[in-house]
Amino acid sequence: MNAWRVAATKLLLLAMLATAAHGGTPSAASVGESIYLRGILSSGAPLEGTREAGTTAHAADAACVNCHQRSGLGSREGNLSTPPITGDYLFHEHTHGPAEPVLPYVESMRHREPYTDATLARAIREGVDPTGRQLSYLMPRFTIGDSDMAALIEYLKKLAVHRVPGVTDSVLHFATVFTPDADPAKREGVRTVLEQFFAEKNKFPFGPSPRMWTSDKTAYSKSMYMAKRRWQLHEWQLTGPASSWRAQLDKLLTEEPVFAVLSGVGGSNWAPVHEFCEEQALPCLFPNVEVPVVADRDFYSVYFSKGVLLEAQLIGQSIVGSDHQVAPRLVQQIYRAGDSGEPAAAALAKQLEQHGISVRSESLPPGPAGRGLAAALRAAARSDVIVLWLRPGEIAALGPAPRGSQIVYVSGLMGGLESTPLPAAWRPQTHLAYPFDLPDRRGVRLDYPLGWFKFRHIPVLAQQAQADTYLACSLIADVLNNHMADSASRAYLIEQLQGMLERRIMTGYYPHLALAINQRFASKGGYIAHFSDVPGDRLVADSAWLTP
């Protein structure tokens, strides 16, 4: 007994040492996920795969997610079809009878012999299917040890499409989030569009259709099911300080499980909502925010553009690449602390300083419009360039014109786009960052949503946010109706959106929208523009569409 205890103690110590050496023993689930998503084996070594003729794939480039996608439901790229590899598709046995378990239809699904754990491991290592036939040239032959292979197969089995929260047999639940600092007019305008869109979507609700069978006797469960569910909107109005939003969101999601967060309105801080969506693996689709979160590794949050951060890039590119007679040496920025201009000013300062341009950023104290502005403008008198991250009330009250040689840039998003109330004396020297297509170029793309508002008597309180909201709703309806069939997978929703967006012709305020794997901002560019000499709000582009 003593010997057994000594041996057990030694084993325990060895295990603890091994754990300490590796910073904690990863679970099989996390090993499988790490291999699938990041191409990292349990040892920390990179996953290696080779293809015919010696091309190789390494680490993140070898990760399964690149072709099979995060959902595991595969993809189509050009004439290449990558099949789904979640457990239910891999191990699916065709009985060709009513008892056959149903699989949601995905475009690249195959009809073939089911895998076993052993034949799947062989497929991953040697590139042959259950019947011994070669897999595609694109599929690398991977070097994976037994325990890592078991963890990966376990992960694939768990990727199987399960019942998704927020999706019932007849209802798709969506949330929309309003932060307490959201502009009230924008919030009201967006809310009205959402409610109207949902009401119309549900005007002709369809019941679940019966299970369908194709001619080859493959069962598709309730085909076109996503198109036939009723949409239900949950309005999540957050309150109090940003530090409390996360707890509120957790509680709301528990009480009202939703399939995705659609649209919504934020103020200058959307990060808590973004982080909540990423952690909950919850699609957060096209919120109306000026400061989105830019994070390379995130997946579930999709925005129309980078907002004021894009404006900072546009202004930076204009300053650095401009053909000004004298190269700007000193740039003065003015923003109000706590407002959207603060992160934009920080981003622009960083960009300009990399080009050797000095930047001074004047932070106005939080408070009523105009507070501290006159002093900040006096301090800006010696700079070559003034960048204003200010709201319409402050723009209207700018006072005397700047020195003749000074160049002024204004945030269009914050200042009111073409309605920015720029004093006449400031117009000749001022350029507007404009991260949309110009008003006289986007007409036809906006005719439909504006007509839709008009005929439904929807008051236009914040045209751009409302048009974006309509666009977001119609895009998601398109994805769900035409690209999802009956696959209720949150990740698949994002993947299908990434794939279809580029083909959209009606793109509202944007000349062009596109996404891809690892892209989260659908519109990449904008203009630097100025008001024409003619009184009014006609904008003229300084140059072609810029994609900084």
Structure tokens, 337: 């602390």
Nearer to other proteins, 103 or 175 (CB): 103
- Tell the smallest beta-carbon distance from residue 256 to other proteins (Å): 34
User: Which residues lie near other proteins (CB under 8 A)?
Assistant: 51-57, 61, 65-67, 75-83, 108-113, 129, 131, 133-139, 214-218, 499, 502-503, 512, 514, 516-519, 524-525, 544-545, 547-548
Cβ-based neighbour number of residue 42 at 10 Å: 20
The nearer residue to other proteins, 67 or 462, going by C-beta atoms, is 67
The CA dihedral of 505, 506, 510, 512, to the nearest 10 degrees, is -10
Nearest-approach distance from CB 80 to other proteins, in angstroms:
6
Shortest separation between residue 479's beta carbon and other proteins, angstroms = 14
Q: What are phi and psi of 518, to 5 degrees?
A: 70, 20
Instruction: Pick left, alpha or beta for residue 114 (phi over 0 → left; psi -120 to 50 → alpha; otherwise beta).
Output: beta
The Cβ of residue 283 has, within 10 Å, a number of other Cβ atoms equal to 24
**Which two structure tokens, joined as six digits, stand for 409?**
């840039």
C-alpha 116/C-alpha 539 separation (Å) is 64
Please work out, in degrees rounded to the nearest 5, the angle formed at the alpha carbon of residue 371 by the alpha carbons of 367 and 373.
130
With contact defined as beta carbons under 8 Å apart, do 305 and 359 qualify? no
| Residues 151/32, Cβ–Cβ less than 8 Å | yes
Provide, rounded to whole angstroms, the least separation between the CB of residue 304 and other proteins.
Answer: 13
- CA distances (Å), origin 115, targets 33, 118, 130, 447: 20, 8, 6, 52
Residue number, 139 or 446, with CB nearest to other proteins:
139
| Cα dihedral sign, 61-62-64-67 | positive
Minimum separation from the CB atom of position 286 to other proteins (A): 18
In whole angstroms, how large is the CA radius of gyration of the chain? 27
CA 132 to chain centre: 40
Structure tokens that stand for 425 in this block:
């004396």
Q: In sequence order, what are the residues at sequence separation of 6 or more whose Cβ sits closer than 8 angstroms to the Cβ of residue 132?
A: none
- Nearer to other proteins by Cβ, of 112 and 360: the residue is 112
Q: Smallest distance, Å, CB 255 to other proteins? A: 37
User: Between residues 431 and 504, which has the closer beta carbon with respect to other proteins?
Assistant: 504
The nearer residue to other proteins, 2 or 131, going by C-beta atoms, is 131
**Smallest separation, CB 252 to other proteins (Å):** 33
Q: What is the DSSP letter of 114?
A: P
For other proteins, give the closer residue by CB, 119 or 269.
119
As measured in angstroms, the least distance from the Cβ of 102 to other proteins is 14
Minimum CB–partner distance for residue 228 and other proteins (Å):
21
The residue among 217 and 454 lying less far from other proteins, judged by its C-beta, is: 217
Q: Which is nearer to other proteins, 218 or 429 (CB)?
A: 218
